[in-house]
Amino acid sequence: MADIQSNSSATHGKSISRRSTRVDLTPMVDLGFLLITFFVFTSSMKQPTVMQVDMPYDKVIDPTPVCTSCVLTVMLDKDDRILYYEGALENHPVVKETGYSADGIRKVLIEKKHAVQLARGRADAFILIIKPSDESNFKNFVDMVDEVTINNIKRYYMDELSNADKQLLAAQKPVLQ
């Protein structure tokens, strides 16, 4: 189309070849859709979400006594392991181990919640205490709080490991390895 007619004699009369101005747009359409596909696939649609964390105002200690049997203590250990026991440590409860899978901690929480519901008549008497160890990671903590949301647990507390708990973790390790 951009040919330059060098032959001057061709300028007179009929001999100019009339080419169609139509361009085949098929390759351009192909290119267009290719680019669309590329942009659609590379752009990440998902926006990050946020999880609200409210810390208790712990300068005032709530003196309300809680029922010992309603408490489940969960200790987040290293290597994505969870150790948990029911009730108070003074009563020498059985310490069990579980993991973060759906069959692991979620099942434990559902069963405990159900047991509290049966014993106390209301499920919100259930109290969960989460004690992350120094070797647990941030994901473990978020997963655990997520589990609380998933199972609709109304009362949970974050706590530090006590010395007795630390001994318990240390005592568990050689057996489980």
Per CB under 8 A, does 94 bind another protein? Answer: no
All residues at 6 or more sequence positions from 174 whose CB lies less than 8 Å from its CB, including other chains: none
Binding to another protein, residues 52-71 (CB under 8 A) = 52-57
Question: Nearest approach, Cβ of 7 to another protein (angstroms)?
Answer: 31
Question: Nearest approach, Cβ of 145 to another protein (angstroms)?
Answer: 8
- Given a contact cutoff of 8 angstroms between Cβ atoms, the answer to whether 126 and 155 are in contact is yes
For another protein, which stretch binds (CB under 8 A), given 6-14, 83-91, 147-155, 168-176?
147-155
Residue 50 or 164 having the CB closest to another protein = 50
d(CA 4, CA 17): 12
Paired with 84 in beta bridges are: 74, 96
Residue 87 or 133 having the CB closest to another protein = 133
d(CA 41, CA 159): 43
All residues at 6 or more sequence positions from 164 whose CB lies less than 8 Å from its CB, including other chains: 89
Out of 124, 143, 166, 172, name the contact with another protein by CB under 8 A.
143
Size of the site for another protein (CB under 8 A): 46
Of 129, 35, 150, the residue nearest 82 (C-alpha): 129
Residues lying near another protein in the complex (CB under 8 A) are found at: 24-26, 28-29, 32-33, 35-36, 39-40, 43, 46-57, 76, 102, 106, 110, 132-143, 145-146, 149-152
